[in-house]
Chains A and B, each alone.
Chain A
Amino acid sequence: MTQGTDAVELRGIGKSFPGVIANHDVDLTIRPGTVHALIGENGAGKSTLMKILYGVQRPDEGTIRINGEDVVLKSPTDAIEHGIGMVFQHFMLADNLTVLENLVLGAEKLHGIGDDARAEISRISDRFGFGLKPDELVEKLGVADRQRLEIAKVLYRGAKIIILDEPTAVLVPQEVDSLFANLRELRDAGNSILFISHKLDEVLAIADDITVMRRGTTVGSADPKTATKRQLAELMVGSELPSPETGESTVTDTVELTLSDVTLTDEFGRNLLSDISLSIRRGEVLGIAGVEGNGQSELVEMIMGMRIPSSGHITLGSEDVTHWHTRRLREAGIGYIPEDRQRHGLLLDAPLWENRMLGHQTEAPNAKGPWINRAGARKDTQRIMTEYDVRAPSIDTPSRALSGGNQQKLIVGREMSGDPSLLIASHPTRGVDVGAQAAIWDQIKKARRAGLAVLLVSADLDELIGLSDTIQVILRGRFVGTFEPSSVTPQDLGAAMTGGEAA
């Protein structure tokens, strides 16, 4: 095979940020018509490399060759002209526009905004089995549909090389399966797909080629036909594969959190949550399984005092906290890992040590009375960075400069600090690598033995089954089934989550 036929050839790519070398001497070759997986530990430089390929960032050195032609990508517009499209982990859709409007937005020149555009959308949707309805409002779509829409957007703009940054992190297994079906269709139609994932099963299931990055450079490749998860993990982080085994039960008799018949309505009087009852005892992990968008976010925000229930009661320890505000709840000892780390968990432009204070700015070691304890906060940030392996140049680095997984580790470390009595965790290991995932699971298990009560919302069913003492399935704002983790399979859970059957 001649070299010129490769879809993408990156040679000697280097990129530095203040205090960090994000990429150096990166070589990557993507064959046309393949699915290429890029794996590596948090902060290895995967997202940076993808952003370089999509023209969001300029490399300091190295060459990019697309379909045998040397190119300089100054902006995403250049990248799109060369047939490269990217779906970011955080979707960029306008909620109050329709599917059609979102698709043509900014690409009106291609097929206009009328019937031609509509025809093109139907063609793409039918060809790859996306099932898009052009006139549906985007705010009505679930995550999986949004993702398909993002991919359709990229195809609509004529992309032949499609980059997906952690596309499966927000999906439950059935959705992952159908995404993969879509990706195979795309591949068979001659497109090249480059995707990043921390989930090694998925990588082995879909990829034709695998490239591993470590500490800013490509360290090797693996053949998905012969490689095992263990081998991949060792290539990535040099550590053992984690398994979220709970071991013996640590559930006590003391109830920490109770919700009784709680209903939450939106401003139009529609029920977001209906008659939810649950109780979590000290030392217990209650898992919530569900397809994203079925009320998990609302449940969490309600417990955290960011939404006030329209009826029912919430009790923490022995106090009625139904109308308590977030700060009071946090001061009472609740740790909170929000689902959207960038919007709810971080001040992106503030240094890490100030991010350590966020959400705990009135508590030790960050404050003394009304005063900030700068020294205390800085010292504790250092501790969190060591204990949770947060990799960053210093505690004065702005949190924006951290890789996704390192941002997540900082938040988990912060919320586990100060011995919380209750942890409300939404996707606590979303976006972290296998090694860090194991470490976070260990920390949760350790705290649980010491009496921590946990509400765990996760799209990762292995994580739910491995950590939980009980699992509740949520569907359209209601609990529709209770499962024993010891006897349930991911398949059972999956069926209940999509309304297949309730136990």
Chain B
Amino acid sequence: MKLEQIAPKLPLEKYEENFADLNPLLTPQQALIAASRCLYCFDAPCIVACPTRIDVPSFIRKISTGNLTGSARVILSANVLGESCGRVCPTEVLCEGACVLNGTGERPVEIGRLQRYAVDYAVSRGFNPLRAGTPNGQRVACIGSGPASLACAAELAGRGYAVEIFDRNAAPGGLNTYGIAAYKSRAEDSLREVRLVENVGVRIHQGVEVTGDPRIVEGRESKVEGTASAMVDGSRSAIQREPSTEGAASTFDLQPSTFNLQQAPSRIALSELESQYDAIFIGVGLGETWDLQLPGEGLRGVCGAMEFIERTKSRPFAGIDVGRRVAVIGAGNTAVDVVTAARRLGAEAVYMIYRRGEDSMPAFAYEYELAKQDGVIFLWNTQPLAILGHEGAVTGLQCARTRLEGRGRFARVDIEPGSNFVLEVDMIVKALGQQPMTEFLRSIPGIELRSGRVVVDSATHQTANPKYFAGGDCVNGGREVVDAVAEGMAAARGIDAWLGHELTVDS
């Protein structure tokens, strides 16, 4: 991306400082003090507030008694991505928001950080409480390797299924690897968790896109011999995937180059999966960022939020060009991730542009705080009208002020006549949310979509085509990692029940 003006590069150590862990790993002493604040409530509200129902008081008590591997066991058996969740969950609105200490006017227990502490302690010492179940001879394929699929796969492996995951990306983990803000979690943190799942015998095939009809692709029949892995291993392998028992040693090559597919992913057709597997889990997440539908959208310097953030997760920071002046359109959590990343990469002026008012901002309050601390300039009640350019590159964004009829997020937005102005920028990032994977989802026979979301049974996560189950962003329209995990687990139980085993749905 050739920009009109690139923000000057920062000294290398400045990048690391800017993207340093927002909430660093607790020291043992901090952890002990934080854990000792937990009241060990009975029937605790924090458990109910967690979509994966982690037994929070129990794992925190185990931290204070020094039983850290036991603590990690409690966490990981409820949520295999417990460490990521400890880093990236919006705990203020989940467990910590429910902590009874809020009721006394005290700060809540730092549940998220304690969760990360316990899992980090155990996993960095090679401890993995998850065990593969006795093989039951049945096979399940998961499409996508994001949080939803990983959770589903780990749960199924624990119940004795042979599970294989197919993902078109170069590295596994979905948005947990490519999407989460770098100051919350790095790609290698996500990959360490993926290894936990691999260690229970789940096979992950990276660089393989699952396609709908036509079922013969690119002139080559995607014939799967024996296991699908045979085909995958033969085609390309950007990353090695021998399961490792040493938590510390990385089995993935974390060189940034391998993070971006050097070649197009190979493909496997749904019909192949159907013939090979007893059930299929759809965890494909969401797709590209919505377009602005504005003139000038094709100019150099206009990009989608996902593309921009993916770069911050898969390349050295110094290698990422950012404009001197950047406009980010949208005010959700993803938009916050973009503005903060742009600032931290050295952009001098970063504008967040939102057509409604501050009170309608969809981002969480603490995310907004982050953006404020980073010196982002907020343009509320501002509607972009056109993107201006010079010799094919962005030079500005034409905007107008808006007037709202009614209150809140559903108020009608009108343009204030004569309020047009031009914001001089070198880069524009679209952060209007992600589109559903409608095209792919439509190609799955018999499944029902509503507003692009896969319709599932709320308990079993089974779709209208009984062989297919689904969970995560493609079902809930885009929520959090922890929701994807919870839905993946629910689907695993649903699959288990459907394939003739007893349904064990947690209350």
The answer to whether A and B come from one shared complex is no
Interface residues of A (CB under 8 A from B): none
| B residues lining the A interface (CB < 8 Å) | none
